[in-house]
Chains A and B, each alone.
Chain A
């Protein structure tokens, strides 16, 4: 953990050089994602509205035209029946009556033309027979020009009108057509309403987008402010959380996550400074000793080889501390993660217990072994040996004559392998358990000042490599160190 923080510190983005700085200034409202999304959405919505309205317009139009053509067909049917049953005279009479009704109706609509077989105009308002008309009793759009239209109604527009025509058995021809003025007006009106609606929808969705963009900017702004403050090196800044008069939303969640992250980073930086100081302090002691020894040698006329080997021993232990620091760094940064192989942990533990039991009995300790046989785990033999040795040496270092050390290796109910080293007579408080897993932390009750204070951090790092966790506990002077490994088949 400590090395990870150290490394992040070296690659610290706190002071970024000018050339790798992303030149992000505060975005204006139109550059916000919210605004752009809102605009995109409003364009989409408006388009959709337009499409819907056009469909409606087309349907309405078709409906009106269908209505007109069915009216025209029906009208032609009626008049044909009159011609067939009551004769042409009656038809002419009828047509004249219709024309009169038309005139009183103002802007209307239906115009007739009855021609004799010889082409004389017998009745109806139209002046002349349009050329395109087909005598098939089918409604079709026919171009009606000025000269076709009734004289007295010069104000109506020429154009394509729906028309229907038929030829009777005596050779006379009847044409019915209808002006489309009122349909045109309906169309115009619909179109205008559509444009208004379209404009309204576009405006409202843009307004909503603007409001949304503003709102989001408002929420993000404190986060950005904090980020800027931290960028400029002030790690103590935190995102201001608004007084929660609303339910916490995703921005509140983001802000509180950021704050917690910053807390952790700040804590790590503090730890790292502490650790650096500890390293400096711990390395200064042996360096000072070496310096004074060499200085005293300098003042002597001849140098004894014993005096030199003392200096060399000091340097040796300094080298060991450096190696341990390096290895700890490699373990923590995951560069020495290693491939895990099946390891006969029972055999390893037996060997280690064999090695240390003697040292224990020399110190007058009671050594109890409780090692299950034939347990294999996935692991790195060197690292596991190192971890167990560190724990055993700790137990020896912190126990006094007459105390008891129990070394256990057993299967857990979940078919995993548990290593447990208990020793009695340890004077340590519950709250110190976390502390002693940090580098260079040593307890005053250590029997000797042997050891570099990197033992437990190393065990912890080795446990991490094995996807395990070192658990330390203290209960009435009984100190336990436990970690659990995944069992493997013997290779």
Chain B
């Protein structure tokens, strides 16, 4: 993907750009909100990673202006400001996701890929409230789930979890992403809470069928896919 990195700390920006390029992405740097808006006017990008506190024009203001110009480019805010209020402010300004520094590169990349795929509607299609992906069908409204045309009975939270997977197939999904998007908990937990939930979901969705859809990527997270080595 083609990224615009907006960051006033040259070292942080350079390291991030190098890391992303080594993963095969194209990057361009901007040092503040004004430069970012100028770059966006000249070129198009798949996604923007933007810091909040920058000279001349901060990240929030830049996103507001971007959205005021009807630009729907996905934006991920990468900031040291991590309070709930600050996240809410960032998302309300028009940010699509929020990651707090210090961050893990794999977390950032996973989130960026989800954002880009979503904006390019490579997401699973939704037809008459039915999400269809691989051999799974899930109704967003009634909550009915079928796999290989067999009814699967799930608890509400399990259904929400499965729905998130189904909407983002073949993507790395980190534990933090699940905590935020499925349970709306914006804080760290120490336990293997998510793993327990995943294993509960697996016994209902994967065990009775073949092939398994939910795969664990060690030290990274999960992938919902037909083929376990999709990320390799």
Contact = CB atoms under 8 A, between A and B. Distances in A.
Given A320-B188, A358-B196, A309 B85 contact: no
Nearest to B105: A312
Interface in B84-121: 84-85, 100, 102, 104
A336 B218 CA distance: 35
Contacts of B84: 338, 380, 382
Interface residues of A, number: 32
Given A323-B82, A355-B157, A450-B191, A362 B196 contact: yes
Contacts of B200: 358
Contact of A382 (B104, B187, B193, B218): B187
B188 A385 contact: no
A386 B187 contact: yes
Given A306-B218, A351-B157, A382 B185 contact: yes
B219 interface: yes
B43 interface: no
Nearest to A450: B190
Contacts of B102: 319
B83 interface: yes
A330 interface: yes
B134 interface: no
Given A330-B83, A358-B197, A385 B104 contact: no
A355 B193 contact: yes
Contact of A336 (B83, B184, B219): B83
B142 interface: no
B108 to A, nearest CB: 13
Nearest to A310: B219
Interface centre among B100, B102, B183, B193 (most CB of A within 10 A): B193
A355 B200 CA distance: 10
A347 to B, nearest CB: 10
Contacts of B183: 351, 355
Nearest to A392: B191
A312 B188 contact: no
B204 interface: no
A309 B219 contact: yes
A393 interface: yes
Contacts of A382: 84, 185-187
Interface string A421-433: 0000000000000
Nearest to A335: B83
B3 to A, nearest CB: 22
Interface string B207-222: 0000000000011100
A362 B100 CA distance: 33
Interface string A65-87: 00000000000000000000000
A452 B157 contact: no
Contacts of A358: 196-197, 200
A389 interface: yes
Contacts of B104: 312, 316
B10 to A, nearest CB: 23
Contacts of A359: 191-193, 196
Interface in B165-200: 183-193, 196-197, 200
Given A393-B189, A451-B190, A355 B197 contact: yes
B155 interface: yes
Interface of A: 306, 309-310, 312-313, 316, 319-320, 323-324, 327, 330, 336, 338, 351, 354-356, 358-359, 362, 380-382, 385-386, 389, 393, 396, 450-452
Interface of B: 82-85, 100, 102, 104, 155, 157, 183-193, 196-197, 200, 218-220
Given A359-B191, A386-B187, 11 more contacts: A309-B219, A313-B219, A316-B104, A323-B82, A330-B83, A338-B84, A338-B85, A355-B183, A355-B193, A355-B196, A358-B200
